């Protein structure tokens, strides 16, 4: 593996190509502008002592990479030393961040505990986040997983560095919280943009450079799983009338704003329209009314969105995945585009109202689509196992087992297939039925397959479910550990499908 290209893909032109002084490869006519700095450490003990080096060029990194164990994959504005001997670097504080290149998760397992297979990290990321890790490194006590951005998020005054720092930190914390539901040893609150292990030939377990996502994609995802995303506003018990989000002060402030634009690294017009649409949805306003008002808002903007994009955003808000607009994001958007000094009293009409999570499912008459999807996935997890990662039955039997209405079952199943969470194939006629497998179960099974039967496994998946296996196959290959003996799996038994 070419480590130089690995580093370049992570650092994303955050450093100069050549050393400013004493370069051995710098072209004569090279005239690079000022860029950022990263920090490197030769041992973990040195890192704990604060002894390291400042690196300001890719050339300098290449000269030192064989001697480093730790580094900062995110780039800082500058770096210098606190001593004349140039042993103790300073400058790797969050306030000095220049660009965010990657989110990372440190998995530090308890002493004497057995390591789980690193493929479980990919499975957890696929299942919990819907995003794949770019890289997984082996560490003495566990693993480190990296989610590299498609392009860096610049932390500058121009992009409102305070906002991006808060938003980026929230994304990072949400990633860790979600993965911690499936994986042990994750410290949710450790430094979000600090020092990590450096990729080396002897510690890279998984690497797929194409698995990168934009900061906006991560921001949109983070909004959907924020702690209060399913909050609904209600009054204290002695008050009778339910408070609607449409009656809140922030709605008028935001819907009359003409300053909204789309900007990398900040909550912009897309997020504002999505948040306003959630307010209309949670207030039981019709989607037609919401569309009319959002299009009117969009027409007042200097850089409006296409009407088709407006409708796509509104459709997402009305998809029943969400209950109401998030208070955190309401504040963030209003502080960014209206006035950074707005207080809660100025944003919320009922400062004494309180927020509660949606009613427990057993207290509601109807279940949400997402809940039916979760029921199906839970059913598959209980019915399938490593050597038979699929279920063959009839729709009726599965529906009755789960307790889901027919139309809701079909809709949930369709959504799960669209989002690549399940594969299924329906066989008509006497003796027909449905063969269904969660992608997660298939991915877990491939970890145990022998190399010589792997291609047959992929062929069996394609033939059984009539789906292209290119992407999943690519993931499967990355999941395979190299030092264990595996048992062959019979994916398709005779007489099925």
Q: What pLDDT does residue 486 have?
A: 43
Tell me the residue range of the domain where 422 lies.
369-479
Q: What pLDDT does residue 226 have?
A: 58
363 belongs to a structural domain: no
Q: What is the pLDDT of residues 100-134, one digit of tens each?
A: 999 999 999 988 888 888 888 888 887 788 888 99
Residue 358 DSSP one-character state: P
489 belongs to a structural domain: no
CA distance 255 to 338: 11
- The better pLDDT of the pair 161, 239 is held by 161
User: Are both 354 and 234 inside the same structural domain?
Assistant: yes
Q: Over 60: is that where the pLDDT of 496 sits?
A: no
Would you put residue 160 in left (φ > 0), alpha (ψ -120 to 50) or beta? left
User: Are both 40 and 141 inside the same structural domain?
Assistant: yes
User: Are both 328 and 375 inside the same structural domain?
Assistant: no
486 belongs to a structural domain: no
Instruction: Please state the rounded mean pLDDT for residues 36-62.
Output: 93
Short-list 45, 167, 32, 146, CA closest to 97 = 167
Q: What pLDDT does residue 158 have?
A: 59
Q: What pLDDT does residue 46 have?
A: 95
Assign residue 427 the CATH number of its domain.
Answer: 1.10.10.10
Tokens matching residue 447? 């970890």
Contact, 185 vs 109, CB < 8 A? Answer: yes
Q: Over 70: is that where the pLDDT of 235 sits?
A: no
Residues contacting 68, CB < 8 A, separation 6+:
40, 41, 42, 198
In sign, the C-alpha dihedral spanning 198, 199, 202, 205 is positive
In the chain, how many domains are there? 3
CA–CA–CA angle 271, 94, 46 (5° rounding): 140
CA–CA–CA angle 150, 322, 281 (5° rounding): 120
In the listed set 222, 240, 271, which residue is the last one of a domain according to the structure?
Answer: 222
Task: Describe the chain by its helix, strand, coil percentages, rounded to 5.
Answer: 40, 15, 40
494 belongs to a structural domain: no
496 belongs to a structural domain: no
Q: What pLDDT does residue 198 have?
A: 96
Residues contacting 288, CB < 8 A, separation 6+:
none
User: Are both 237 and 318 inside the same structural domain?
Assistant: yes
Tokens matching residue 54? 């400042």
pTM, entire model: 0.60
Q: What is the pLDDT of residues 444-476, one digit of tens each?
A: 777 666 667 777 777 888 888 887 767 666 666
441 belongs to a structural domain: yes
With bands split at pLDDT 50, 70 and 90, how would you rate the model's confidence at 306? confident
Q: What is the pLDDT of residues 312-359, one digit of tens each?
A: 899 888 887 777 777 777 888 888 888 888 888 888 876 444 343 444
- The better pLDDT of the pair 96, 23 is held by 96
User: Are both 406 and 385 inside the same structural domain?
Assistant: yes
User: Are both 232 and 202 inside the same structural domain?
Assistant: no
User: Are both 103 and 249 inside the same structural domain?
Assistant: no
With bands split at pLDDT 50, 70 and 90, how would you rate the model's confidence at 254? confident
User: Are both 39 and 146 inside the same structural domain?
Assistant: yes
In the listed set 202, 222, 242, which residue is the last one of a domain according to the structure?
Answer: 222
With bands split at pLDDT 50, 70 and 90, how would you rate the model's confidence at 308? confident
Q: What pLDDT does residue 212 have?
A: 92
- The better pLDDT of the pair 260, 411 is held by 411
Contact, 293 vs 255, CB < 8 A? Answer: yes
Q: What is the pLDDT of residues 147-189, one digit of tens each?
A: 999 999 888 665 556 656 678 888 999 999 999 988 999 988 7
User: Are both 73 and 138 inside the same structural domain?
Assistant: yes
User: Are both 164 and 27 inside the same structural domain?
Assistant: yes
Q: What is the pLDDT of residues 262-299, one digit of tens each?
A: 655 556 788 888 889 988 988 888 888 888 888 888 88
Short-list 436, 440, 362, CA closest to 393 = 436
Q: Would you call 483 exposed, middle or buried from its count of C-beta atoms within 10 A (0-12, 13-18, 19+)?
A: exposed
Short-list 129, 150, 213, 210, CA closest to 471 = 210
User: Are both 95 and 218 inside the same structural domain?
Assistant: yes
493 belongs to a structural domain: no
- Compute CA distances 35 → 54, 72, 77, 125, whole Å: 13, 15, 7, 33
User: Are both 284 and 338 inside the same structural domain?
Assistant: yes
- Compute CA distances 150 → 45, 129, 207, 245, whole Å: 33, 16, 15, 35
71 belongs to a structural domain: yes
Q: What is the pLDDT of residues 65-104, one digit of tens each?
A: 999 999 999 999 999 999 999 999 999 888 899 999 999 9
In the listed set 358, 390, 409, which residue is the last one of a domain according to the structure?
Answer: 358
CA distance 321 to 311: 16
Q: What is the pLDDT of residues 188-215, one digit of tens each?
A: 878 899 999 999 999 999 888 888 999 8
Q: What pLDDT does residue 365 have?
A: 44
């Amino acid at each position: 593996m070419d480590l130089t290209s690995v580093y370049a893909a992570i650092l994303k032109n955050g450093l100069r190509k050549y050393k400013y002084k004493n370069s051995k490869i710098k072209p004569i006519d090279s005239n690079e502008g000022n860029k950022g700095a990263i920090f490197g450490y030769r041992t973990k003990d040195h890192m704990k002592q604060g002894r390291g080096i400042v690196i300001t060029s890719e050339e300098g990194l290449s000269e030192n990479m064989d001697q480093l164990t730790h580094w900062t994959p995110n780039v800082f504005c500058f770096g210098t030393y606190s001593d004349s001997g140039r042993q103790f670097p300073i400058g790797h504080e969050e306030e000095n961040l220049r660009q965010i290149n990657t989110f990372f998760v440190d998995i530090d397992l308890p002493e004497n505990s057995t390591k789980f297979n690193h493929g479980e990290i990919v499975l957890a990321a696929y299942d919990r986040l819907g995003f794949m890790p770019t890289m997984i490194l082996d560490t003495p006590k566990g693993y480190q997983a990296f989610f590299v951005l498609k392009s860096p998020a610049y932390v500058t005054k121009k992009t409102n560095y305070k906002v991006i720092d808060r938003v980026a930190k929230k994304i990072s914390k949400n990633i860790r919280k979600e993965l911690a539901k499936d994986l042990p040893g994750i410290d949710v609150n450790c430094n979000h943009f600090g020092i990590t292990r450096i990729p080396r030939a002897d510690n890279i377990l998984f690497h797929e450079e194409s698995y990168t996502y934009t900061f906006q994609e991560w921001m949109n995802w983070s909004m959907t799983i924020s702690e209060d995303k399913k909050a609904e506003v209600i009054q204290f018990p002695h008050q009778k009338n339910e408070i609607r989000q449409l009656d809140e002060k922030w709605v008028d402030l935001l819907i009359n704003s003409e300053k909204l634009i789309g900007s990398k690294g900040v909550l912009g017009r897309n997020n504002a329209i999505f948040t306003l649409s959630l307010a209309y949805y949670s207030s039981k306003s019709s989607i037609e009314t919401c569309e009319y008002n959002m299009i009117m808002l969009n027409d007042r903007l200097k850089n409006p969105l296409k009407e088709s994009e407006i409708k796509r955003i509104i459709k997402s808000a009305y998809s029943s995945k969400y209950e109401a607009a998030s208070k955190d994001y309401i504040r963030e958007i209003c502080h960014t585009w209206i006035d950074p000094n707005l207080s809660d009293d100025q944003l919320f009409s009922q400062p004494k109202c309180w927020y509660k999570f949606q009613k427990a499912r057993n207290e509601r008459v109807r279940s949400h689509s997402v809940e039916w999807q979760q029921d199906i996935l839970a059913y598959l997890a209980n019915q399938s196992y490593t050597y038979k990662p699929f279920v063959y039955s009839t729709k009726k039997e599965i529906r009755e087992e789960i307790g889901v209405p027919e139309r809701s079952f079909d809709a949930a199943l369709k959504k799960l297939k669209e989002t690549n969470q399940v594969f299924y194939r329906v066989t008509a006629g006497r003796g027909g039925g449905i063969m269904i497998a969660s992608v997660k179960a298939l991915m877990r099974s491939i970890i145990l397959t022998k190399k010589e039967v792997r291609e047959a496994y992929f062929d069996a998946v394609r033939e059984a479910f009539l789906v292209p296996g290119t992407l999943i196959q690519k993931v499967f290959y990355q999941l395979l550990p190299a030092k264990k003996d595996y048992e062959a799996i019979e994916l398709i038994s005779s007489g099925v499908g």
